[in-house]
Amino acid sequence: MGEAPTAGPAARPDTVRTPKGMHDVLWPESDRWQRLIDRFALLVEGAGYGLAITPILEHVGIFDRGIGQGSEIVGKEMYTFADRDGQVMALRPEGTASIVRAFVQHHPVPPWKAWYWAPSFRHENPQQGRYRQHFQLGLEALGPSDADLDVEVISLAFEFIASLGLHQVTLKVNSMGDETCRPGYVESLRQYLAEHEDELSDAHRTSFKENPLRVLDCKDPGCQSASESAPRFLDNLCEPCMAHFTRLRAGLDALDVPYQIDHRLVRGFDYYTRTTFEFASGAIEAAQNALGGGGRYNGLVEMLGGPPTPGIGFGLGVERILIACDAEGVYPIDPTPLHAYVVDVTGGESAVLLTSELRRAGLRADRAFDGRSMKSQMKSADRSGALVALLVGPKELAEGTVVLRPLRQDDEQRSVARADIVAEVRRAAAESIASS
């Protein structure tokens, strides 16, 4: 016989909390998250995208090779650790590389369209809208190189954001060229920046030679003014990249999707080719105003060992979208209320049977426990937000009735035959929908 377990020392209160930069999402805020995900699923599944659920961690090489070791995200922000077998793993910092890994591993027939929700981890300096764990809703489409697919992907993100009621959002688009035209462009940018070295931020004065593109999206005023008249991607695209961008613009125009061309939109991943885009909110702090972004990555599948397969996708930041919704006063927290709350003071099985019957009929029902007094159970009923309370006392039990008391309207309570209660609650639910 082993010894009975003993309680260990109590945890220090300062360790009984979420890790820095991470958050619990509790009801009713979690209800808004769930609705957001459902809304996204409905939209993108309607366009042929299927849900893909991948592990929250991958072998570190998937991100090293996929996103690029030179990127901030891999170089400075990724959570990596050796597991108990000594394998170096990384918590997913974004969704794209994992989806592409799944494509390479399972080789579905392209075109392959996948959507995902993905808790993502980046060891950033936490602030409003910038967290160490954030949640992305995204999709990836693998196979076609057709610019019409870029139009589909961008317009789905646009439609989703607009459907929430967000108005102060700007879609920015750019093209980052491909392996034919990008090297020449990057070299001319490097030369230009060398002539403006003195104006660059301390960090970029030394690093621009390695990766001049990073200067373009740097927020430092020196880098911004230095890159003001820098050479632009769009003036340096090869003919096929230009044709792709022209076709993209025509598609967005045809769908009345408004956009701005942003010559500095290079985004922080090495995998992008051609189209890049981002949705910026005018209602929130500029440093964290990107609600989502994405682009084409025609070489990523090959980088991860698969056959040449173009791809495009986007990721939307759930926390930032909801911050923007709050700032614009749209898409409020509005959880669906309970239909009924059962108050039973008979001490018998009435509450067990009644809640079970209501739930089986598809109604949302809850009840009080622990044989509390009528007054205390009614307090819980009021707090629950239910449309009606269903009261069962000794008199109702003897008569085969239930008292139905409306909790959200001034209507009188009434006695209902036990056999009719499900129909009565259903009627109350329908009336409440009709009047809302």
Binding site for ligand HAM (CB under 6 A): 94-96, 122, 124, 129-131, 134, 136, 138, 140, 290-295, 313-315, 317, 319-320
Least distance CB 127 / ligand HAM (angstroms): 9
Supply the minimum distance, in Å, between the C-beta of residue 15 and ligand HAM: 23
> Which C-beta is closer to ligand HAM: that of 130 or that of 405?
130
From residue 241, how far is each of 237, 245, 392 by CA, in Å? 6, 6, 72
CA proximity to 24, closest of 133, 159, 110: 133
To ligand HAM, the closest distance from the beta carbon of 312 in angstroms equals: 7
Q: Considering the complex, what minimum distance in angstroms separates the CB of residue 286 from ligand HAM?
A: 13
What is the spatial distance between Cα 359 and Cα 353, in angstroms, rounded to a whole number? 10
Contacts of 285 (CB under 8 A, 6+ apart): 128, 129
Per-residue CA distances from 419 to 167, 358, 389, 425 (Å): 50, 12, 16, 12
Residue (137 or 351) nearer to ligand HAM, CB: 137
Q: Least separation, in Å, of the C-beta of 249 and ligand HAM?
A: 19
- Residue pair 50/139 in contact (Cβ under 8 Å)? The answer is no
| Residue 37 exposed, middle or buried by CB count within 10 Å (0-12, 13-18, 19+) | middle
With residue 242 as reference, give the H or E element that holds it: helix 239-254
> What Cα–Cα distance (Å) separates residue 48 from each residue in 44, 150, 153?
7, 15, 11
Q: Which two tokens stand for residue 267?
A: 């985004």
Comparison of 278 and 344: residue with beta carbon closer to ligand HAM: 278
Min dist. Cβ of residue 58 to ligand HAM (A) = 13
For residue 310, the tally of other CB atoms under 10 A from its CB is: 21
Cβ closer to ligand HAM: 231 or 315?
Answer: 315
* Closest residue to bound ligand HAM by CB: 317
> Shortest gap between Cβ of 409 and ligand HAM (angstroms)?
41
